[in-house]
Chains A and B, each alone.
Chain A
Amino acid sequence: MMITISTFLAEKGIYLLTFILLSLGVAGIVTCNNYMKKLICMNIMQVAVIFLFLCLGQKSKGTIPVAVEGLEKAADYINPLPHGLMLTAIVVSLGTTAVGLSLLLRIREKYGTIEEDDLLMRQELLSMEERQRRKQELQRIDT
Chain B
Amino acid sequence: MRKLFTVIILIVAISTPFFAFDVLPVIGDPDSAPNSHVSDHYIEHAVEECNSPNMVTAVIVDYRAFDTMFETTVMFLAGVSVVLLLAGRPKRRLISPSAVKKRGRTVRGKAVYETVNKDVMISLIEPLILIYAVYVLFHGEVSLGGGFQAGALIGMTYLLDVMVGKRQRPIFNLSKFRSAALAGVGPFIYALTGLISVFAGGMYLEYNRLPLPVHQAELHSIGITAVEIGVTIGVAGTIITIINALMERISFDDDND
Contact = CB atoms under 8 A, between A and B. Distances in A.
Given A91-B75, A94-B75, A106-B85, A75 B6 contact: no
A88 B68 contact: yes
B81 interface: yes
Interface in B131-172: 142-144, 148
Contacts of B13: 23
- Chain A interface size range: 35 or more
A39 interface: no
A118 to B, nearest CB: 17
Contacts of A85: 64, 67
B78 interface: yes
B18 A91 contact: no
Interface stretch (B29-37, B115-123, B173-181): B29-37
B14 A22 contact: yes
B74 A80 contact: no
A82 B34 contact: yes
Given A24-B7, A88-B71, A96-B78, A60 B64 contact: no
Interface in A56-86: 56-62, 65-67, 72, 74-75, 77, 79-85
- Chain B interface size range: 35 or more
Contacts of A11: 26-27
Contacts of A58: 27-28
Given A56-B25, A102-B86, A103-B85, A65 B78 contact: no
Contact of A65 (B3, B55, B67, B68): B55
B6 A27 contact: yes
Given A30-B6, A87-B60, 13 more contacts: A15-B18, A30-B10, A56-B34, A58-B27, A59-B30, A60-B30, A84-B64, A85-B67, A87-B71, A95-B78, A102-B85, A105-B249, A109-B91
14 contacts: A19-B14, A23-B11, A23-B13, A57-B34, A65-B55, A65-B56, A67-B54, A84-B60, A87-B56, A87-B148, A88-B68, A105-B249, A105-B250, A109-B91
Interface of A: 9-12, 14-16, 19-20, 22-24, 26-27, 30-31, 55-62, 65-67, 72, 74-75, 77, 79-85, 87-88, 91-92, 94-96, 98-99, 101-103, 105-106, 109
